[in-house]
A and B are shown apart, each in its own frame.
Chain A
Amino acid sequence: MNLLTLFLSALLINNVILSKFIGMCPFLGVSTKLSSAVGMGLAVIFVVFGASVLSWALYYYALVPLGLEYMKLICFILLIAAFVQFVEMFIKKTSPSLYKSLGIYLPLITTNCAVLYVALDNITQGYTLVETMVNSIAVPAGFMLVLLIFATIRERLATADVPEAWKGNPIAFVVAAIMAIAFSAFAGLV
């Protein structure tokens, strides 16, 4: 598969939030402030990429040769949790400044279903290692892109004159729906 097509498709057309409805919890939860959205987005890119490549290697070098493909779900969950612990520990030891900006979001990512989705999707689509790496960058980048757009809109909504009944989550859902319609226009891109 053309890598650019794969990248654009995962980033815009099959956007993990607006097309697959995965990772909705941080999308609605951590999007009321742009600074929080940036931290969360960067942490998701970092964790999804690392966890997906490791999951791919575990599947093709351990589970497939042993005929244990049915164990991929439980293995990936454990691997993602272990990877997040390792990354948090590594950042604590090596880069306090990075820990300051990403550290608090790392434990939250363990429960982000988008991480598991990418790891499983790479396997079910039969991607090679290079395709896995491209997909594992594009999907969280799409997540961050939508999160940032949504956060900027919500920051403006906070000062807008929204009717009382629509304040908070109701208007956020309306915005998300309009964004999903707008992003569906990318379908003709590739």
Chain B
Amino acid sequence: MQVLFAILIAGALLGLNVWLYIANKKTPVPEGCESLKPDCSGCGITDCAIRRKEEE
């Protein structure tokens, strides 16, 4: 029974995550924030995906 509850809780949290991820993606970005990007010049992390995209 305990294992069933463990699976249920983990599954519920995973489902919540997926649902919120999709809902967040579907939510339109506010006007004026469409091209919002982190300021790479103010960041020292060089192996970040955003920076790599920026440098391409």
Contacts and interface: CB of A to CB of B under 8 A. Distances in A.
Contacts of A62: 9
A168 B30 CA distance: 36
Contacts of B31: 96
Contacts of A126: none
A103 B33 contact: yes
B10 A89 contact: no
Interface residues of B, number: 29
Given A29-B43, A32-B43, A85-B20, A79 B36 contact: no
Chain B CB count within 10 A is highest, among A85, A92, A168, A172, for A85
A96 B33 contact: yes
A63 B8 CA distance: 12
Contacts of A117: none
Contact of A71 (B6, B21, B42): B6
B44 A89 contact: no
Interface string A13-31: 0000000000001001111
Nearest to A31: B44
Interface in B3-56: 5-6, 9-10, 13-14, 16-17, 20-21, 23-24, 27-33, 36-39, 41-45
Given A66-B5, A71-B6, A71-B10, A33 B39 contact: yes
Contacts of A156: none
28 contacts: A29-B43, A31-B44, A32-B44, A33-B41, A35-B39, A35-B42, A66-B2, A66-B5, A66-B6, A66-B9, A67-B2, A68-B5, A68-B6, A71-B9, A74-B10, A78-B14, A78-B16, A82-B13, A82-B20, A92-B24, A92-B27, A96-B31, A99-B29, A100-B30, A103-B33, A108-B38, A168-B44, A172-B44
Interface of B: 2, 5-6, 9-10, 13-14, 16-17, 20-21, 23-24, 27-33, 36-39, 41-45
In the A-B complex, the 7 residue pairs with the smallest Cβ-Cβ separation, listed nearest first, are A96-B30, A33-B42, A36-B42, A85-B20, A78-B13, A29-B45, A89-B24
